[in-house]
Homo-oligomer: A and B are copies of this chain.
Amino acid sequence: MDNMKNFEDNERLNNPKKQNIIKEKLAERGVNLMDIAALTYDLQKPYVPTITIDICLEHVNNVLLKREIQHAILVGIELDVLAEKELLSEPLLSLVKGDHSLFGVDETIAFSIVNVYGSIGLTNFGYVDKLKPGVIGELDGAGKREGRCNTFLDDIVGAIASAAASSIAHRYTV
C-alpha cells in the first residue's frame, strides 16, 4: 500500500505520455538526449565521482516527465520554429531571430524549468549559459545561420541539463 502511495506521488507532477512528444520535438530540432546527459555529467562529476553517463541520462529523462517543464519546452521550441518560418509579428520576430542579450524571455522560460528542482539549479544554468559547453555552443552557433533560430533552444537545453544535475545532487549528496 505504501508502494502504491509512492507510485501515486510520482505520478502527481509527471506526464509520461507527453514525455515522448517532448523527446520527438527535441530530436526534430537536432537535440540528442545523450548530448544533454553529457553536460549533466560534466557538471556533477566533480561532486559525485561515481556518476555515469547512464545515470545522467536517466535523470534527464526524469526531468522531461514533469508537466510544467514539458510546457515550458513546448513554448520555447514553438517560438524558435515560428521565427524560422517568419510567422511571428514584428517587433517580436526581430527580437527572437536576433537572440539579443537583453531579450530576456528565453531566460525566463529556462528558469521556470530549472526552478522545479529548487534554487540550486540556477547556478548550474548560469554557468552553462555563459560558457556554452558541448551541444549548447553548437546550437548557439547553428542558430546564427540563415533560416535557423535556436534562441530558446540553447537555453532550454542548458536548463534541462542543469535540472538533471540538481536532481542528481539531491539524490547523491549526503
A81-111 interface bits toward B, Cβ cutoff 8 Å, 1 = contact, 0 = none: 1100001110110010000111111011101
User: Contacting A18 at CB < 8 Å: which of B47, B91, B105, B130?
Assistant: B91
Residues of B within 8 A of A115 (CB): 115
Which residues of chain B have C-beta atoms less than 8 A from A125's C-beta? Answer: 122-123, 126
Q: What separation, in Å, do the CA atoms of A99 and B171 have in the docked complex?
A: 18
Known: A6-B6, A78-B88, A130-B127. A108 touches B102 (CB 8 A): no
**How far is it, in angstroms, between the C-alpha of A122 and the C-alpha of B68 when the chains are bound?**
14
Pick out which of these stretches binds chain B: A7-15, A30-38, A136-144. A7-15
The residue in chain B whose Cβ has the minimal distance to the Cβ of A7 is B6
For residue A56, CB closer than 8 A to chain B, the reply is no
Interface size counted on chain A using CB atoms at 8 A: 60
- Which residues from chain A sit less than 8 Å from chain B, CB to CB? 3, 6-13, 18, 21, 47, 62, 67-68, 71-72, 74-75, 78-79, 81-82, 87-89, 91-92, 95, 100-105, 107-109, 111-112, 115-120, 122-127, 129-131, 167, 169-171, 173
